[in-house]
Structure 1
């Protein structure tokens, strides 16, 4: 293979010189710091500082060692700081970099092989990087805009999403810019190096996912998920007082695409996602999220972006019954609205955000919560 590359370079020396000067490795370091505080409602008028460090390394193993179509992805995380949702008291969270256990983790470490008709991936893998994901929602800070709460709340200690992933095998067929079909089998016991460790026993079974979609000016996709082992019912018990085993499963639909564009560069992308689950093994029987992202908001600020989103997590009947048992008046849903703006100056991005949450904690009588967040992030390539 090396001899063939040399022969091609002899015929097109300028092109090959440019290729040789491009590294087979790419590295990205992103530091994000948030100050998130409750300005109305919640348990206290206060704020918390929290941060997130991403170190991402990608390698082209074909260029390095001649392993055709093979690449490696290594992603490390470090999280510190407080937990602002303790102040807000919501079921779905208010900040997408908040973690329960601070520290460093090996977040993702996988190999992906291209086999012509598609790709196969194996290793530590974030399900939400490719399943139940919309690019048009990526600026929003509230966690429900990352993945639907009815899936995020599943698993023995959460599914394989931020901040702890699990070993997975993913198959993807089709063309990235047209139609695709993808499947994944993921260890149900999430855990990365740095927290509980990587589980290899599969004692809790697997999370199985499938998604198919059409890409174009508008992307449309449908997906489904199911655990291979039954989970405890959140309310029903057997004659001995043990939770009844139930199948944890769900479906979702999503759409996103360009809805507006001007010659001056202003563009708008909208998204809508709807999900439903069994309602027996988590507090949520489903939910939906929708919104719009505007890019190049000001002609003089090419990196300025404005995003608006609405989300609603629908509580199951069993979750509402559990809430009523505590003496509270259970709401049918917890919902929120977020408005955020971001602009970049050199390597620094400044992003203020404002959120309003209705029925926090599923309590109909709780005061609405207003959360203000200032996010600062620095990216180095």
Structure 2
């Protein structure tokens, strides 16, 4: 699961606005996986922004994103991978994805409250936003934690975010309801009851490094305990991550080379994925860009033993390699051919998969 909106992307202009976006993938397994097959899936978003100075408060604004999802299930039924090769792959739903109010508190401090996409504030891989694989949005050591994931795509939960922003560094802290939506009813429109599973606490700091570099350090923690994978009671779910990205050459106007590396760890006693390492490179401008990236997710020892105890032995790691390119054909249309090779999908539950896809982005403002 992963969000598609980068930090600040939904920030309001001076006047109220409404934008309509549609992202669609035509994607198929050319070899391996669970089975060969082609699927059409998509995400239609209606973004509503209030404009600034909401309720007469300077700089305050509100934002809502209502979406429709269709055609999901490609990774579960065709590719067979655990990391999810398309970041719009999700069960059919029509629901509010975000609905929040944000206001400056003075001194470079801002606060946001409501239905919030955690990935718009935390574990944002800005270079990775080019790619389709879900691990390059929010990594699976974080995204696959909790009872229904954290508050990210495709279902969010109520939360509060406070950020202190300075020219060279930023610190963020947040508290979210720990169970977004209803895990037993993924198609439901309205959020589930609040407080069923405690809270998810998130914190992150980022600092500018030299010329064109940025270092990110983050941590997360669930207040409620989870069943241990070895069946010996309950344990804490927590994790941390580090990310570094750097402009290596050029710039975005004439063609820039950017790279990033992200590593994370989760408590293996209660989470299948104990470690993740990923990263890659992108080259180009807003109108034409290319990229290559690798996502490597590793099972913890308790998960490996649990699979073996159920007579389902697994490989230690699943690795996805993605090569992609984007071309803007007009103000409202962007095309993106994509190739992914997944080694040991779901840690060996399916054959190595070659996945070919074409993404189309439509935007009306």
Normalised TM-score (structure 2): 0.90
Q: Give the counterpart of 1:159 among 147, 150, 155.
A: 150
Structure 1 residues 156 and 305 mapped into 2: Cα distance closer, same or farther (>3 Å)? same
Q: Matches of residues 99-118 of structure 1 in structure 2 within 5 Å?
A: 99=90, 101-117=91-107, 118=109
Partner of 1:60, secondary structure, is: coil
Distance 1:292 1:249 in 2: 29
Residue of structure 1 in register with 2:357 after alignment:
373
For structure 1, which segment, 262-271 or 140-149, has the greater mean C-alpha deviation from structure 2 after superposition?
262-271
Q: Matches of residues 133-282 of structure 1 in structure 2 within 5 Å?
A: 133-175=124-166, 177-191=167-181, 195=188, 197-215=190-208, 217-237=212-232, 244-261=233-250, 265-282=254-271
For structure 1, which segment, 70-79 or 261-270, has the greater mean C-alpha deviation from structure 2 after superposition?
261-270
Which one has a bigger Cα radius of gyration? Answer: 1
TM-fit CA distance, 1:245 = 1.0
Partner of 2:229, secondary structure, is: strand
Does structure 1 conserve the Cα–Cα contact (< 8 Å) formed by 2:277 and 2:296?
A: yes
Distance 2:197 2:253 in 1: 53
Partner of 2:304, secondary structure, is: helix
TM-fit CA distance, 1:197 = 2.8
Does structure 1 conserve the Cα–Cα contact (< 8 Å) formed by 2:67 and 2:97?
A: yes
TM-fit CA distance, 1:323 = 2.5
The one-character-per-residue Cα deviations of 1:116-159 (angstroms, maximum 9, x if unpaired) are 22101100001111101121110100111111111111122121
The one-character-per-residue Cα deviations of 1:21-67 (angstroms, maximum 9, x if unpaired) are x85112221111111111111121111110110111222241x6422
Distance 1:204 1:328 in 2: 29
Unmatched 5+ stretches in structure 2: 1-12
For structure 1, which segment, 228-237 or 107-116, has the greater mean C-alpha deviation from structure 2 after superposition?
228-237
Partner of 2:68, secondary structure, is: strand
CA RMSD of aligned residues (A): 2.0
Does structure 2 conserve the Cα–Cα contact (< 8 Å) formed by 1:355 and 1:372?
A: yes
Residue of structure 1 in register with 2:278 after alignment:
289
Matched, 1:81 2:71: yes
Residue of structure 2 in register with 1:340 after alignment:
324
Structure 1 residues 314 and 160 mapped into 2: Cα distance closer, same or farther (>3 Å)? same
Distance 1:23 1:44 in 2: 50
Residue of structure 1 in register with 2:8 after alignment:
none
Does structure 2 conserve the Cα–Cα contact (< 8 Å) formed by 1:106 and 1:194?
A: no
Does structure 1 conserve the Cα–Cα contact (< 8 Å) formed by 2:250 and 2:256?
A: yes
Residue of structure 2 in register with 1:351 after alignment:
336
Partner of 2:307, secondary structure, is: helix
Residue of structure 2 in register with 1:59 after alignment:
50
Aligned length: 345
TM-fit CA distance, 1:260 = 0.8
Normalised TM-score (structure 1): 0.86
Partner of 2:346, secondary structure, is: helix
Distance 1:228 1:165 in 2: 18
Distance 1:304 1:61 in 2: 32
Residue of structure 2 in register with 1:40 after alignment:
31
The one-character-per-residue Cα deviations of 1:205-229 (angstroms, maximum 9, x if unpaired) are 0000100111361110101000011
The one-character-per-residue Cα deviations of 1:64-110 (angstroms, maximum 9, x if unpaired) are 642222110111111011411111111111110011x3021100000
Does structure 2 conserve the Cα–Cα contact (< 8 Å) formed by 1:272 and 1:291?
A: yes
The structure that is helix-richer by fraction is 1
Distance 1:26 1:102 in 2: 27
Distance 1:59 1:180 in 2: 25
